Amino acid sequence: MNTKTRVALLYGGKSGEHEVSLKSAASVLRHLDRARFEPVPISIDKQGRWQLQDPRRLAESNSESLPIFADAQEIRLATDAQGALAAAPIAANGEAAAIDVVFPVIHGPLCEDGAMQGLLELAGAAYVGSAVMASAIGMHKDIAKRLAGLAGLPIAPYLVASRRDYRRDPTAVAAAAKAALALPVFVKPCNMGSSVGVHKVKSWEELGAALDDAFAYDTKVLIEQGVDAREIEVAVLDGDPPFASLASELNAGPQHEFYSYEAKYLDADGATVDLPAKLEPAQMSRLQELAITAFTALECSGFARVDFFLDRVSGEFYFNEINTLPGFTAISMYPKMMEASGTPYPALITRLIELALERHAERAGLKTDYAG
């Protein structure tokens, strides 16, 4: 009898961050505690097909990015009469794979914005990470900033532009930005991560091209005030109370204007990291407090990475964004910060799965009907 917990490793996804997911998933699969857990790798290709992959075949590939083999069995999530979850084959002659908990190692729209979490809720699945609402809020930079601001976190000035308004009158959008903000500004898709579609605008003549590219990824775009700031991150792990790690500082290389997608993933010398960040003890304590406030205010669970700017002139911390499914390779910043704070990568994976099962058991105890 199999007594191991069957972990569905969900990776890929129909999003602009597909390739980032493949790297994270390869690392999680490699470090999963096989004495306790049995991996059930499930890929989602760029067309949105779900397939059950063979973990032995994946292991033999020995790749830093987990492959998606196109000939793998196509599946759907299904539950039996007792409510047990499985990856059920689409083909009549396929064999279902039982699932105890889902570990979504996926990023971007439809993956970490609440859409996938809603599907997993409907399937009755235990899953790692935040639930529907926090996932949706965390992915929506505008709403996240609004709620963080209500919770008392400092927010740098910004404007929001819709694609509809921009198409109707691009001059008006540019004029509003010029009136409210000073150069440089950053243009960001509202619902993307990994710095996809992000541009630093140093002259107003560059704004139109930056907006055109950002609107290719989303229907809402943020135009944010550029701040002469240090980029600081904190990892938060759920608990009672939540735990905030030592902070790290990201220093983009001189060949990059900021910590862009290229600096993160394509350029081996794209950035250097100070871990822990070079902060005074009082600053570190303040930052950890702000990170936990953001995690709690946005109703997060499981884990999250909270990103801040530290103004070089005023010394003020500004909340930038929260990532409810951060990059999860062994060298990604969330695991590295947790390891520097006393939780090694394999133990972190185990703890996240435990938290998912604990939350699922707690929610399963809630009433789902009303007898009057």
Catalytic residue among 138, 327, 345, 359: 327
Torsion of the alpha carbons at 318, 321, 324 and 326, rounded to the nearest 10 = -100
Catalytic residue among 6, 230, 305, 359: 305
Sign of the C-alpha dihedral computed for residues 339, 344, 349 and 351 taken in this order = negative
Catalytic residue among 49, 118, 208, 265: 265
Catalytic residue among 135, 245, 301, 323: 323
Is the distance from CB of 112 to CB of 324 less than 8 angstroms?
yes
Is the distance from CB of 223 to CB of 141 less than 8 angstroms?
no
**Is-catalytic flag, 208?**
no
| Domains of the chain by start residue, with CATH | 5-128 (3.40.50.20), 138-154+229-324 (3.30.470.20), 158-225 (3.30.1490.20)
Catalytic residue among 15, 21, 135, 194: 194
**Is-catalytic flag, 17?**
yes
Instruction: Dump pLDDT digits (tens) for 300-323.
Output: 999 999 999 999 999 999 999 999
Catalytic residue among 135, 321, 332, 339: 321
**Is-catalytic flag, 320?**
no
Instruction: Dump pLDDT digits (tens) for 122-158.
Output: 999 999 999 999 999 999 999 999 999 999 999 999 9
**Is-catalytic flag, 11?**
no
Is the distance from CB of 75 to CB of 10 less than 8 angstroms?
no
**Mean pLDDT value of segment 342-369:** 93
| pLDDT for the residue numbered 251 | 86
**Is-catalytic flag, 15?**
no
Please report which confidence band the pLDDT of residue 335 belongs to, taking 50, 70 and 90 as the band edges.
very high
**Is-catalytic flag, 217?**
no
SS3 call for 73: strand
**Is-catalytic flag, 149?**
no
Q: What is the DSSP string of 108-175?
A: STTTSSSHHHHHHHHTT--BSS--HHHHHHHH-HHHHHHHHHHTT-----EEEEEHHHHHH-HHHHHH
**Is-catalytic flag, 62?**
no
Instruction: Dump pLDDT digits (tens) for 191-223.
Output: 865 567 899 999 999 999 999 999 998 899 999
